[in-house]
């Protein structure tokens, strides 16, 4: 099939600025014999790719990640010419390029010449070369070689007219590579501790090293938490994770600063795999011009979980964003184009599901979508990962056709999307150090899972189509009508102060059990629970009772303040609460704390502080949100059946409602007033069946000159 080309000069562009980058992760090195070509014409395939891309409306590619060994096959002998030829070809076709620095995959020669760059694991054994991520981020030698390859790449390709942005490194962290235990790491660790604590007395006290008599009398004595007969001191481990996280952020910052110097004006990002890596994503985001995510939406993903991850990514960097083109939000730089390869069974994405997931990303703010990857590799560990094209590269496959359709639709939408962002009235607080602490051993209840607890709140908002951001507890929360703080067990004085101010100034704060049990050093305060906030909630938690997963207590509601749809269980954790001025909305039904408060509300300053002393089923959180909506102005974006996901992008007097049907059957919608359907370019009124996995984009706003760009 020889597809017909469509013009790229309009559509995804509005005026001079590109509104949406619609692209793919392009790895011609994966198709073997250089670049799938023949001896005579090794690169002939690329032209076909450009044709297929153009036909699909693709206007950007990401290239270069993991190619260090190809770009510098021997030390100091660089070959960037093949990448330049890719860029030339793309440029000719009007396709922009995002260059990824290749540092995530150090070449074999480097590890063999400098084995000290290999990370040592917690047993002191090296993780060997021959794959990606085999590097210690505290190694000066690795930093130096990284600087050299990034500089060489920027000097060779940084002024190419197709270049719009850099991606530094790739998917940092994961596979337990967030920390290494090398001698150089130890030196940096001690330096980091010296800066933080200044004196050994401070260190011994702040980390509680008197426990089991593990005090130190010299900085060099402070251990790294390596494999040991039993657990290390949890305060020391928390600092170790903070240090490792700072190391990751510093390494990324080094590359960002270098590229800012070498190619001023080119924004820099990196791809983040949200909520599964052990570093502070907010800290990392601060180092970048804009955030990009790897979306792992797969056939078994729950819509609300994907939405939660997208909302989290959008929220990582709220200020000073600098994106290519007209982008205001973030990119999905790896949007899965098919099945992944890391589940036990990697089923195909059903027809329409790549499109659905793409719209879910766009609806929640993405200004760039890059499919991972353009074509399935014939070599390496990811050869059965889905791609836009299948191994044969023909372009007559199902997914390619679906992506071509999305490309055409996004061209139509782009002028409407221009300048729009997602605005949220609700916010969920998330702190990485808190998460690290809750994942440590010796928890009151190892079945309590913060991610699942957060998801209960996010799903309640998501399923009621209420827009939500994430924030750190110390951030400015004043713009939000309701702030949810699920289990901030580790709470610093500053964070507690921010929450207090938020409520005092009129906000509604909803906190839960497992809050304020630890200070910022991971040490238990002796001032009662929740630390610093008892007056805000008007209560004190005297004790807490962890519940095994197969047992439960129940909530008995007092009066009719909260409309309850059914009997709600109390699971995993029950706080034994002494009310000190709060209103009691529900009590526990059983056990020796029967009749004690389980759910309370307190007026504090101009605001309200709600406390939930337990964990319940999803339906409880739906009821909670219904109740909160009644008094704290949380708005449902559109009144549609709850199985339809709705998101809103707005700006410049324009509103785009995205309606997504994640179900495998059609859903009937009823429009009482006429609405403008942008994708089909028609007006809908009365009943409309949103097909299985279908998408509707409704527009409210001024008519754009010339109507939709097609």
Least Å distance, CB 334 to ligand GLA, is 5
Nearer to ligand GLA, 187 or 341 (CB): 341
Least Å distance, CB 327 to ligand GLA, is 20
User: Where in 353-447 does DSSP place strands (E)?
Assistant: 366-372, 426-429
Nearer to ligand GLA, 369 or 660 (CB): 369
Least Å distance, CB 68 to ligand GLA, is 14
Q: Does 294 bind ligand GLA (CB under 6 A)?
A: yes
Cβ atoms 107, 71 nearer than 8 A: no
Contact with ligand GLA (CB under 6 A) among 171, 377, 407, 516:
171
Alpha-carbon distance 498 to 520, whole Å? 14
Q: Does 179 bind ligand GLA (CB under 6 A)?
A: no
Nearer to ligand GLA, 306 or 431 (CB): 306
Nearer to ligand GLA, 283 or 334 (CB): 334
Least Å distance, CB 507 to ligand GLA, is 37
Alpha-carbon distance 679 to 383, whole Å? 35
* SS3 label, residue 164: strand
Least Å distance, CB 350 to ligand GLA, is 20
DSSP 239-260: HHHHHHHHHHHHHHHHHHHHHH
Binding mask 497-516 for ligand GLA (x = CB under 6 A): --------------------
Least Å distance, CB 134 to ligand GLA, is 15
| Number of residues in contact with ligand GLA under rule CB under 6 A | 9
Q: Which stretch binds ligand GLA (CB under 6 A): 197-205, 334-342, 393-401, 502-510?
A: 334-342
Alpha-carbon distance 427 to 227, whole Å? 39
Nearer to ligand GLA, 101 or 170 (CB): 170
Least Å distance, CB 127 to ligand GLA, is 17
Alpha-carbon distance 539 to 541, whole Å? 7
Nearer to ligand GLA, 62 or 472 (CB): 62
Nearer to ligand GLA, 301 or 522 (CB): 301
Q: Does 309 bind ligand GLA (CB under 6 A)?
A: no
Nearer to ligand GLA, 294 or 552 (CB): 294
Least Å distance, CB 274 to ligand GLA, is 11
How many residues does this entry show for the chain?
Answer: 710
Least Å distance, CB 62 to ligand GLA, is 10
Label the pairing between strands 553-557 and 583-588.
antiparallel
The interface with ligand GLA within residues 366-405 (CB under 6 A) comprises 382
Nearer to ligand GLA, 340 or 354 (CB): 340
Least Å distance, CB 463 to ligand GLA, is 28
* SS3 label, residue 387: coil
Least Å distance, CB 180 to ligand GLA, is 20
Contact with ligand GLA (CB under 6 A) among 170, 179, 329, 455:
170
Nearer to ligand GLA, 67 or 514 (CB): 67
Q: How many CB atoms lie within 10 A of CB 49?
A: 28
Binding mask 574-593 for ligand GLA (x = CB under 6 A): --------------------
Q: Does 29 bind ligand GLA (CB under 6 A)?
A: no
Cβ atoms 24, 370 nearer than 8 A: yes
Q: Does 271 bind ligand GLA (CB under 6 A)?
A: yes
Please name the residues in contact with 208: beta carbons below 8 A apart, sequence gap of 6 or more: 233, 235, 521, 523
Alpha-carbon distance 482 to 503, whole Å? 10
Least Å distance, CB 341 to ligand GLA, is 7
Please name the residues in contact with 52: beta carbons below 8 A apart, sequence gap of 6 or more: 3, 389, 395, 400
**Residue 5 carries which DSSP code?**
P
DSSP 452-500: HHHHHHHHHHHHTT--EEEE-TTS--TT-SEEEETT--B--HHHHHHHH
Q: Give kind and range of the element (H or E) at residue 571.
A: strand 569-579
* SS3 label, residue 305: helix
Contact with ligand GLA (CB under 6 A) among 29, 129, 169, 334:
334
**What are the tokens at 420?**
């729009």
Burial of residue 548 (number of CB atoms within 10 Å: 0-12, 13-18, 19+): exposed
* SS3 label, residue 360: helix
Least Å distance, CB 279 to ligand GLA, is 15
Nearer to ligand GLA, 169 or 645 (CB): 169
Label the pairing between strands 667-677 and 682-690.
antiparallel
CA 383 to chain centre: 25
Binding mask 218-257 for ligand GLA (x = CB under 6 A): ----------------------------------------
Tell me the Ramachandran region of residue 479: left when phi exceeds 0, alpha when psi lies from -120 to 50, beta otherwise. Answer: alpha
Alpha-carbon distance 255 to 151, whole Å? 9
Residues that bind ligand GLA (CB under 6 A): 170-171, 271, 273, 294, 334, 340, 342, 382
């Amino acid at each position: 099939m020889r597809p017909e080309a469509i013009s790229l000069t309009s559509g995804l562009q509005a005026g001079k600025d590109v509104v949406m980058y619609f692209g793919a992760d392009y790895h011609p090195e994966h198709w073997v014999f250089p670049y799938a070509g023949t001896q005579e014409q090794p690169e002939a395939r690329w032209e076909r790719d450009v044709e297929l891309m153009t036909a699909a409306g693709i206007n950007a590619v990401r290239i270069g990640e993991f190619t260090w060994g190809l770009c510098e096959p021997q030390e100091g002998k660089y070959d960037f010419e093949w990448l330049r030829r890719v860029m030339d070809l793309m440029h000719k076709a009007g396709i922009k390029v995002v260059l990824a620095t290749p540092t995530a995959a150090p070449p074999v020669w480097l590890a063999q010449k400098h084995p000290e760059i290999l990370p040592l694991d917690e047993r002191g054994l090296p993780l060997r070369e021959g794959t990606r991520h085999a590097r210690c981020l505290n190694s000066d030698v690795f930093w130096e070689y990284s600087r050299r390859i990034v500089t060489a790449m920027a000097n060779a390709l940084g002024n190419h007219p197709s270049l719009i942005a850099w991606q530094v490194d790739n998917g940092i962290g994961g596979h337990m590579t967030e920390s290494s235990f090398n001698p150089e790491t130890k030196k940096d660790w001690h330096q980091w501790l010296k800066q933080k604590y200044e004196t050994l007395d401070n260190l011994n006290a702040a980390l509680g090293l008197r426990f089991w008599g593990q005090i130190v009398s010299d900085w060099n004595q402070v251990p790294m938490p390596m494999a040991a007969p039993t657990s290390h001191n949890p305060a020391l481990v928390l600092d170790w994770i903070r240090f490792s996280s700072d190391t990751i952020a510093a390494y990324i910052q080094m590359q960002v600063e270098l590229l800012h110097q070498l190619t001023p004006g080119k924004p820099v990002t990196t791809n983040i795999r949200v909520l599964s890596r052990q570093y502070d994503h907010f800290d990392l985001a601060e180092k970048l011009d804009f955030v990009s995510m790897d979306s792992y939406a797969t056939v078994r993903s729950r819509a609300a979980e994907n939405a939660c991850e997208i909302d989290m990514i959008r929220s990582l960097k709220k200020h000073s964003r600098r994106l290519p083109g007209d982008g205001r939000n973030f990119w999905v730089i790896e949007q899965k184009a098919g099945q992944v390869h890391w589940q036990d069974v990697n089923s195909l994405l059903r027809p329409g599901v790549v499109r659905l997931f793409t719209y879910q990303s766009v609806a929640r703010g993405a200004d760039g979508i890059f499919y991972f990857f353009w074509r399935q590799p014939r070599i390496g560990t990811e050869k059965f990962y889905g791609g836009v094209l299948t191994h044969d590269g023909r372009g007559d496959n199902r997914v390619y056709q679906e992506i071509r359709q999305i490309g055409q639709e996004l061209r139509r939408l782009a002028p409407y999307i221009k300048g729009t962002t997602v605005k949220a009235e609700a916010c969920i607080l998330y702190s990485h150090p808190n998460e690290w602490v809750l994942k440590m051993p010796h928890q009151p209840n190892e079945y309590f899972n913060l991610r699942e607890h957060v998801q209960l709140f996010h799903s309640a908002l998501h399923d009621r189509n209420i827009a939500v951001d994430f924030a750190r507890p110390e951030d400015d929360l004043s713009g939000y009508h309701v702030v949810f703080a699920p289990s901030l067990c580790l709470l610093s004085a500053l964070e507690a102060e921010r929450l207090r101010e938020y409520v005092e100034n009129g906000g509604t704060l909803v906190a839960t059990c497992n809050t304020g049990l630890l200070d910022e050093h991971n040490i238990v305060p002796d001032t009662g629970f929740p630390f610093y906030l008892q007056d805000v909630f008007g209560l004190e938690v005297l004790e807490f009772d962890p519940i095994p997963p197969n047992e439960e207590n129940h909530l008995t509601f007092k009066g009719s303040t909260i409309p309850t749809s059914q009997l709600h269980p109390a699971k995993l954790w029950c706080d034994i609460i002494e009310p000190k001025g709060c209103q009691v909305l529900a009590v526990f039904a059983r056990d020796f704390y029967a009749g004690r408060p389980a759910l309370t509300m307190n007026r504090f300053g101009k605001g309200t502080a709600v406390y939930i002393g337990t964990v319940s089923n999803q339906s409880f959180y739906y009821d909670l949100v219904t109740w909160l909506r009644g008094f704290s102005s949380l708005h449902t974006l559109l009144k549609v059946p709850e199985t339809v996901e709705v998101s809103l992008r707005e700006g410049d007097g324009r509103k785009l409602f995205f309606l997504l049907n994640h179900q495998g059957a059609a859903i009937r919608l009823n429009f009482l007033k006429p609405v403008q359907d942008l994708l089909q370019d028609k007006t809908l009124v009365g009943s409309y069946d949103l097909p299985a996995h279908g998408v509707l984009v409704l527009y409210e706003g001024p008519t754009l000159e010339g109507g939709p760009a097609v």
